[in-house]
Chains A and B, each alone.
Chain A
Amino acid sequence: SQQGEEDPQALSIQEGENATMNCSYKTSINNLQWYRQNSGRGLVHLILIRSNEREKHSGRLRVTLDTSKKSSSLLITASRAADTASYFCATRQNYGGATNKLIFGTGTLLAVQP
């Protein structure tokens, strides 16, 4: 399967704590993106990191990328109950052609307890 792996599969934390989830992928990539999905709804794009970047910040989100290990991590700081959702990494493979095909990871289900 081309699908990436994420761990943990599920994570439960208290409000105010930090949440870290990891993603591993299998092939050379052009960029890696993180998406959030609230309970069976559509996905919302959170952040994109290009293959030549190592770290990126957006608000309470921090993403790192290690292309040598084919892995990425998403850190959510000072979590809130509203952050409760599933989080997916997605990679756009480096075909060298014009395609937007994304390969998604298996997802991490984050529960933030108030």
Chain B
Amino acid sequence: KAGVTQTPRYLIKTRGQQVTLSCSPISGHRSVSWYQQTPGQGLQFLFEYFSETQRNKGNFPGRFSGRQFSNSRSEMNVSTLELGDSALYLCASRKDGTPYEQYFGPGTRLTVT
């Protein structure tokens, strides 16, 4: 079974631009969560989707948004990029009924210049 895939793996953007990251969960997993990892703040929860509905949102500005499609694939979007948005963005999926362990993708490394 294929794992969680994230595209692109690496991205370089300029301050002020916007970016869209994609995540395909493991087949059969309906829950997708996004996390941001930076050296200063560590791993922080961005949002969680289940069956196309946002179920929870972390403490991030409105520039960060996401969505989930009917096939459970998810995208997150960051508008008006700032230098501080440079981070590793991780997506995780979970299968219903399992005791909450999440399966993480390899991440998208975003660099904002």
Cα distance A100–B109 when bound, in Å? 23
> Would you give the shortest CB distance from B12 to chain A, in whole angstroms?
16
Interface residue A104 (Cβ < 8 Å from any Cβ of B): yes
Task: Identify whether the interface residues of A are mostly helix, strand, loop, or mixed.
Answer: strand
Contact size class for B? Answer: 20 to 34
Q: Which of B14-22, B40-48, B68-76, B78-86 contacts A (4 or more CB under 8 A)?
A: B40-48
Cα distance A106–B105 when bound, in Å? 20
Partner of A41, one of B33, B45, B58, B106: B106
Q: Which of A10-18, A42-50, A68-76, A77-85 contacts B (4 or more CB under 8 A)?
A: A42-50
Contact with B along A14-53 (1 / 0, CB 8 A): 0000000000000000110101000011111100101000
Contact with B along A92-114 (1 / 0, CB 8 A): 10000011111111110000000
Interface residue A88 (Cβ < 8 Å from any Cβ of B): yes
The A-contacting residues of B in range 20-72, CB under 8 angstroms, are 31, 33, 35, 42-45, 48, 50, 55-56, 58
Query: How many residue pairs bridge A and B at CB < 8 Å?
Result: 65
> Would you give the shortest CB distance from A91 to chain B, in whole angstroms?
10
Cα distance A30–B48 when bound, in Å? 18
Interface pair A31/B100, CB less than 8 Å apart: yes
Interface pair B90/A101, CB less than 8 Å apart: no
Interface pair B48/A100, CB less than 8 Å apart: yes
> Would you give the shortest CB distance from A3 to chain B, in whole angstroms?
6
Interface pair B42/A99, CB less than 8 Å apart: no
Contacts of B48 in A (CB 8 A): 99-101
Known: A98-B55, A99-B56, A101-B56. A42 touches B4 (CB 8 A): yes
Chain A interface residues (CB < 8 Å from chain B) = 3, 30-31, 33, 35, 40-45, 48, 50, 88, 90, 92, 98-107
Chain B interface residues (CB < 8 Å from chain A) = 4, 31, 33, 35, 42-45, 48, 50, 55-56, 58, 88, 90, 92, 94, 99-107, 109
